[in-house]
Amino acid sequence: MGFQLKQLWTAPEINPYNKKARSIPIFNPLDKYGRVFFFSYLGFFIAFWSWYAFPPLMVSIRKDLVLSQNEVANSNIISLTATLVMRAIAGPLCDRFGPRLTFVGCLLAGAIPSALAGTAHNAGSLYAIRFFVGILGGTFVPCQVWTTGFFDRNVIGTANALVGGWGNSGGGITYFVMPAIYDSLIKRQGLTSHVAWRVSFIVPFILITAVAISMLLFCEDTPTGKWSDRGKVAAPTAPTDDTIVAAPGPLTTNQPSTTNSISSHDEKKIAPTSQPQPDVETAAGSINIIDEVQHEVVVKPSAKEALRVACSLQALMLMSSYVCSFGGELAINSILGSYYLKNFPQLGQTTSGRWAAMFGLLNVITRPAGGFFADLIFHWTKQNLWGKKLWIHFVGVMSGIFLIVIGQLDPKDLSTMMGLIALMAIFLEAGNGANFALVPHVHPHANGVLSGLVGAAGNLGGVIFAIIFRYNGTHYARVFWIMGVIIIALNLIFIWVRPIPKGQIGGR
């Protein structure tokens, strides 16, 4: 069934086997699928806003706390490092307790240090505050895992990219909102700069807490309710005889649940061993739908299983791609305003900062586009996962090419600079959406673990690239072409890796 406009607000069609939605009711928060979609991106948006609330006010903070340029750079790196650690932890927590509770926990844990931001009085205390505020960046993992649990594979790339992209835009919005709050406190409330920037952080604290409580009150863990009941997605909906369900093609084949369900007795007779193994990349051959659904149910992570997932070539490929796309985005976000100010001093600090904010705001379109085109390619290639994978490498290599061009030209013409940055951003940020369009297909029983590892890899990339920027001072153009070479190399190194592990059941 093709896309219809009414799917944006009507209750979605539900896959009878895994209870996931086959469309995204973006404008229907009353529907449970629409509600999860809404809070997924709203929670990540608010978290990203507060996580990035320091850079827009850093001029005032730096002056008040008497910080050096290196201390400011160190605080950025510490914030990214905290999120790296939190994302790696959040993955297994999602598989153990469910993404909703993990999401709420991350929000509340990050809200407290946000409220305490005003207590910073020197570089050391700023480092500590920014480290714990960095917990908010970990919300990306439960955001993606939660959405993956509610939306079927025909739209999961688009769903994950939309909540991720709209959430990421909080990093751009904060450049407008936080200075506006700060200015209002000075002009209308008569506060000094010393007090105003500290009071400003109370606003994100209030919003984060309100969103977290709303998630607890109005949302569910899974389409079947509680996290402990997640296995019910594979349960039959009506008693049947001893018929074994065999269906060619992917799980999303739409068949009536009342005639195709099987009993628990039937499940023991699934897939005779003499049956040839289907090609898991192309979804060719005959598979048993119930068996596949059971292999996609998330299980409690063990250290051994987590290690097996982390060491698989597929995980390494996805992690390296996210090092490039999200890691590159984070690092560029932190210096772009300064790069603009260096090449175009006539812009001034405020205007250059606002132009830099547009880089983050493009995520509203670019990241969803990466996931949307991944889903289209998945459909056009008759659900061959190689298409999704090669799309990741294509946008990665293109972003690397534009980074090299920017680095070599170091444009002094404003329109040339803005045009090249925008083109680079399209491919770099689309890579984020493309990456998490493939993640749900790989190791689906350990989706939280894999999502956490990939998300953490993005922050690792941010730290690595930020360190390169730090040790190259104001030679921003040089770092741009170095990043371009690294990104192209990492994408080409893993281009040969299969989309999912050979013999994997589920995730097609």
- Decide if 170 contacts 49 (C-beta within 8 A): yes
* In the chain, domain spans: 21-226+303-493
The DSSP string of 224-282 is TBSGGGGGGGGS-SS---SPPP-EES-TT----HHHH---HHHHTT-S-TTSPPPBTTT
Q: Which of 228, 82, 163, 153 is nearest to 506 (CA)?
A: 153
pLDDT digits (tens, 9 = 90+) for 189-217: 999 999 999 999 999 999 999 999 999 99
Checking if the pLDDT of 220 tops 60, the result is: yes
**pLDDT band per the 50, 70, 90 thresholds, residue 112:** very high
Q: Phi/psi class of residue 304: alpha, beta or left (left: φ > 0; alpha: ψ in -120 to 50)?
A: alpha
Residue-wise pLDDT tens digits, 59-73 = 899 999 999 988 988
Confidence of residue 265 (pLDDT cuts 50, 70, 90): very low
Lowest-confidence region among 33-42, 83-92, 235-244, 307-316: 235-244
pLDDT over threshold 50, residue 280: no
What single letter denotes the amino acid at residue 197? W
The answer to which of 94-98, 127-131, 144-148, 346-350 has the lowest mean pLDDT is 346-350
Q: pLDDT-based confidence at 2, cuts 50/70/90?
A: low
Residue-wise pLDDT for 331-363, tens only, equals 998 889 889 989 999 988 778 878 888 898 899
CB 346 within 8 A of CB 456: no
Reported as a single tens digit per residue, the pLDDT across 445-494 is 889 999 999 999 999 999 999 889 988 988 999 999 999 999 999 999 99
Give the tens place of pLDDT for each residue, 291-329.
666 666 777 778 888 899 999 999 999 999 999 999 999
**Lowest pLDDT segment from 37-41, 88-92, 253-257:** 253-257
Tokens of 79: 């914030």
- For domain 21-226+303-493, give the CATH number: 1.20.1250.20
Run of H or E residues at 34: helix 32-51
Region 225-242 average pLDDT:
62
Q: Is the model's pLDDT at 257 over the cut of 60?
A: no
Share above pLDDT 90 across residues of the chain, in percent, rounded to a whole number: 64
Q: Is residue 330 predicted with pLDDT exceeding 80? A: yes
Per-residue pLDDT, averaged over 136-142, amounts to 95
The Cα 324–Cα 400 span in angstroms is 9
Element (DSSP H or E) covering residue 287: strand 286-287
Task: Tell me: pLDDT of 382 over 90.
Answer: no
Half-sphere exposure of 441 (CA within 13 A, CB side): 34
**Residue 135 neighbours by CB under 8 Å, 6+ apart:** 82, 83, 86, 106, 109, 110, 113
Q: Compute the distance between CA of residue 32 and CA of residue 18 in angstroms, rounded to an integer.
A: 15
pLDDT average, residue stretch 402-406: 98
